[in-house]
Amino acid sequence: MLDMVWWLILVIFFSSLLIVFLTGTPIAFSFLLLDIIAMFLIMGPSFAGSFVGSILDSLTRFTLVAVPLFVLMGEVLFQSGLAMKALDVLEKWLGKLPGRLSLLSIVSGALFASLSGSVMANTAMLGSLLTPEMRKKKYHKSMIVGPIVASGSLAMMIPPSSLTVIFGSLASVSVGDLLIAGILPGLLMAALYISYVIIACKLNPNLAPMDEVGEFNLKDTIKETIRDVLPLAIIVFLTVGVIFFGVATPTEAASLGAFGSVILAYLLGNFNLEVIKKSVSGAVKVTAMVLIIVAASNAFSQVLAFTGSTRHLTNAVINMPFEPFWILVGMLAVIFLLGMFIEQVAIMMITIPVFMPIIKVLGFDPVWFGILMLMMLQIALLTPPVGLLLYTIKGVTPDDITMQDIWYAATPYVFCGLFAIGIVLFFPKIATILII
């Protein structure tokens, strides 16, 4: 009987989910609530054993240990002030380039993405630090907000990314491969953002008036780079490099990164009890929500499997009169549309249990698809009306920068991101060439 009404079960579940979202209930709890109701209605009172078993199964994965460690690493580096010192040095290297402070936000965003993995932390920090200076130098609103939200989103792709770890855990794809595969696509997006800023400022100098820059002393700047930036590069190597060379797993690399950041903060930063409290508190909050999300998504997959929805939907898709490539493009389009209204983790929880079986049946590389999906989710961070980073930047900018200003500023970077996806779609090696 369930096989006959699988599509109806999907319609009812997703409709109920949207209704619960509209009540303001947190995403993870919305999924858990509907999972419990669905499992009770479909399996009966005996569902409890399966439900507890699925939670235990999903939360005892070694790869998930990387999430709190990556978050802790970023928190320690930001709270101790080490990231701020690096920001000052990077500004000196940019010299008199058009839109210098806008470029600084993108370059530093790419660097901090490799130290944090948190898109919100990246955006909030850059917005708080750079917005006052850019306003003082009379940058156009679009050249203030746009580069900051775009650069903040790079933490979705450039490793270590907490969302990449979550994706790998939900999709049963190698987290290490995903982290390494995200390097080149992430740098490609950063390069496109930089190109847009330079071209826009060349065509319209009023967007970012040229400001006075102090005398550039190469010797002093190199010394400062070695002192303030090189140590952070060592942390990047401890996390990304050891995974790339096959020396450590993502979890082991996260441990090295977290330990290295604590030692570095102690030796070079402002490391005290307050920094420890804030760093640990931030890591605990993020980890708790991630674990609930993973448990809820695993239970959702179980519901789909039990009702036969996964099998029937997969058969329906592969029997469509379209080439597999266009089915893949259709999936990415669905993610883009969902990104206009739903938060990234919710999109993962909804689509991964449905899309991954189809991807495997169609014969696509799951790592390549994972990178394409993460890139599309990164774009969703900037897409009106509910792009997460649009509201993050609103919270750290003055009241005269309206949501309309922010939407307008983010739009060019959405198109840059879509162009980057097109490149990776037609040249898959960009995503897979670094995987050993």
Tokens 């640990």 -> residue: 280
Tokens 């775009």 -> residue: 150
Collect all residues with Cβ–Cβ distance below 8 Å to 263 and sequence separation of at least 6.
none
Contact at 8 Å (CB) between 160 and 239? yes
Task: Kindly write down the DSSP assignment for every residue of 200-237, as one continuous string.
Answer: HHHH-GGGS-----PPP-HHHHHHHIIIIIHHHHHHHI
**In residues, how long is the chain?**
436
CA–CA dist 247, 237 (Å, integer): 11
What one-letter code names the amino acid at 87?
Answer: L
**Of the candidates 339, 160, 348, 322, the residue with the CA atom closest to the CA atom of residue 251:** 160
Q: What was the pLDDT predicted at 115?
A: 65
What would the two tokens of residue 166 be? 């979550």
Q: What was the pLDDT predicted at 193?
A: 93
Q: pLDDT digit string (tens) for 186-204?
A: 999 999 999 999 999 889 9
CA–CA dist 146, 194 (Å, integer): 11
DSSP H helices, 47-182, are 47-59, 66-79, 82-94, 100-113, 119-136, 141-152, 162-171, 175-181
Q: What was the pLDDT predicted at 83?
A: 72
Q: What was the pLDDT predicted at 136?
A: 83
Q: What was the pLDDT predicted at 1?
A: 47
Q: What was the pLDDT predicted at 403?
A: 81
Task: Kindly write down the DSSP assignment for every residue of 312-357, as one continuous string.
Answer: HHHHHHHTSSS-HHHHHHHHHHHHHHHHTTS-HHHHHHHHHHHHHH
Domain-by-domain residue ranges, the chain?
A: 2-432
CA–CA dist 56, 295 (Å, integer): 8
Burial class (CB in 10 A: 0-12, 13-18, 19+), 77: buried
Q: What was the pLDDT predicted at 311?
A: 67
CA–CA dist 161, 179 (Å, integer): 7
Contact at 8 Å (CB) between 83 and 125? yes
CA–CA dist 334, 349 (Å, integer): 14
What would the two tokens of residue 285 be? 């909050």
Q: pLDDT digit string (tens) for 367-422?
A: 999 999 999 988 988 887 667 778 778 877 887 888 888 888 999 999 999 999 99
Q: What was the pLDDT predicted at 401?
A: 85
Contact at 8 Å (CB) between 63 and 175? yes
Other C-beta atoms closer than 10 Å to the C-beta of 75 total 24
Average confidence (pLDDT) per 10 residues, the chain, 436 residues? 61 75 69 78 72 72 75 78 76 76 82 66 73 84 89 80 81 88 92 92 85 70 85 81 82 85 83 84 75 72 69 70 88 83 73 87 92 91 76 78 87 94 95 85
CA–CA dist 408, 388 (Å, integer): 15
Q: What was the pLDDT predicted at 420?
A: 96
